[in-house]
Amino acid sequence: MKTVFVVGAGPAGMFAAQKIALAGHQVVIVNRDIKHGGLAEYGIYLVKDKMKSGLRKQFAKVLSLPNVHYFGHVPVGTKQALTVDDLRAFHPDAIVFSVGAQGTKKLGLPGEDAKGVYSAKDFVYFYNSLPPFASQDFSTGKKVAIVGMGNVMVDIARWVLFDNPNRQTEELTIVARRGPFEAKFDEKEIKYVEHNLDRNELNAEMQRVAERVAAVGQDIGKAGDVFSILQHTDVPQTKPVMKFRFLCSPKEIVKGADGRICKLIVTENLLVKKGEGTAAKATDQTVALDIDTMIFAIGDVHDPNLGLPMGPEGYSTKPVPGDERSLYQVADPQTGAEMEGHFVVGWARRASDGLVGIARHDAEVGATHVLNYLASQPDKGAAAIETIESTLRARNIQVVNKTELALLGKAEEKEAQERGLTYFKYSDDTSMLRAITREKKTNNTPAMAGADD
Ligand SMILES: Cc1cc2nc3c(=O)[nH]c(=O)nc-3n(C[C@H](O)[C@H](O)[C@H](O)COP(=O)(O)OP(=O)(O)OC[C@H]3O[C@@H](n4cnc5c(N)ncnc54)[C@H](O)[C@@H]3O)c2cc1C
């Protein structure tokens, strides 16, 4: 039996852990958040209960495996609870990094630090109750802009338009650097918000960019073929209104006296051919939009503070044509030398790439390469769980293990029942740790080291 550390307990980490554990190895999951699930718990839209509960059940099965250990509330990285060097010092046989894409792709705009400007990742973490984002200011105003045209934009639009309990929004503008033919959202998703679409505005916007998209052979009259909501002409319109502003890229954020965004200056773009596809080309024409909240949904990048070498695409690998394993194997970006036993899977391998099913597949393929690697390695005896526990205890880290995670689940179930909800989750670490301690007292199990009540 070998020991594999899996860093990150989102879908990729959980499914990689399952595959490796079922092959008979000891798996130690180390996760930043108290709860596992990653974006499946803290990203997927609130009301997608069926999908969320299905995934929760699958993850519970993984954690129920006796050779899977869980260390929640333990971020790994430079100046974090554990560094990558700390992990190596525990002598695992391999380390799988499945930390997702936790870095923020900055727009690099003047005024980007204005109040009311958020990255989509932080924003969805906020409304999905992930600590510490859940307790931070993500206030939205009357005129909201979302930059980007994918499914994440639609999720955020749904929240802004319907589910925000403090909603004041009157107008939502989707800012897209290219045109309607390049929309990336799925038909099934956009239907949730199409009642809010101002169709007169949309038609006018189509005409505004008709000539520019014609430059790459796109016929605006046929936009309905790809931009399917255009075909649903009989949908009654409700407020707040949603509109699209195509062929525009953010150029500058103007702050008001209160430090909050009050205008978004955008550059008008042309559309040009790029290989098989299209690209936006900036003109020198700009327009100022009245905006008090801006959320950029343009994908995320890898967190450079994890402690893995970074290449141009994120955590560094050295892909060799025809060698699938090399896609998962961490490698030095300068020399190309493989970092033996270090693997990346899921969004930690390819940032913001696809749905849970894709992350799962990627993790399972990666795990197969991990298993092949383990088979080639001599046995050095399983790394001791007690050593990891005592190290974290000495550093005063309040680790949450599998048993405690189950107690937290119980506490949240009780809370849901009391409040008459189908599901309840705590939105700050202190409440979660307290709930675990309370459950322990109720169940007469030893109190958690360091957790107060
Ligand atoms: C807004 C949004 C909505 C989505 N909606 C859907 C949907 O409806 N359907 C669907 O199928 N897919 C959806 N997806 C995609 C899906 O969430 C991803 O495919 C999937 O979560 C990627 O899994 P992952 O494990 O690679 O990364 P993540 O889910 O991001 O998991 C990363 C894990 O690593 C941990 N971690 C991060 N940093 C560290 C660190 N330094 N140390 C230790 N642990 C760390 C985190 O705590 C987390 O548990 C959505 C994504 C987003 C952003």
**CA-proximal residue: ligand 1, atom 8 (nearest):** 44
Q: Give the domains, in start order, of the chain with CATH numbers.
A: 3-102+301-399 (3.40.50.720), 117-296 (3.50.50.60)
> Which of 7, 44, 74 has the most ligand 1 atoms within 8 A of CB, as the residue to mutate?
44
What are the angstrom distances between the C-alpha of 63 and each of 21, 71, 198, 265, 328? Answer: 10, 11, 47, 49, 24
Question: Torsion angle, CA of 123/436/303/346, rounded to 10 degrees?
Answer: -90
For 191-229, b/e burial (b = at least 16 CB within 10 A) is ebbbebbbeebbeebbeebeebbeebebebeebeeebbb
Q: Determine if ligand 1 sits within 6 Å of the CB of residue 439.
A: no
Edge-to-edge strand list for the sheet holding 143-147: 117-119, 293-296, 143-147, 171-175, 241-245
Which residues, given as ranges, of the chain have pLDDT below 50? 449-453
Q: Determine if ligand 1 sits within 6 Å of the CB of residue 55.
A: no
- 154 CA from centroid of ligand 1 (Å): 17
- 3 CA from centroid of ligand 1 (Å): 24
**CA-proximal residue: ligand 1, atom 2 (nearest):** 43
Q: Determine if ligand 1 sits within 6 Å of the CB of residue 176.
A: no
Alpha-carbon gap, residue 73 to 132, rounded angstroms:
12
What confidence score (pLDDT) does residue 224 get? 85
- 219 CA from centroid of ligand 1 (Å): 37
Q: What is the pTM of this model?
A: 0.95
- 38 CA from centroid of ligand 1 (Å): 4
Tell me, what DSSP letter sits at residue 103? B
Residue range 249-287, pLDDT digits in tens = 999 999 999 999 999 999 999 999 999 999 999 999 999
Q: Determine if ligand 1 sits within 6 Å of the CB of residue 52.
A: no
Atom of ligand 1 nearest to the CA of 80: 41
Alpha-carbon gap, residue 96 to 225, rounded angstroms:
42
What are the start-end ranges of the H helices in 128-238? 151-158, 187-190, 199-214
Residue range 367-387, pLDDT digits in tens = 999 999 999 999 887 778 899
CA-closest candidate to residue 288, choices 245, 258, 257: 245
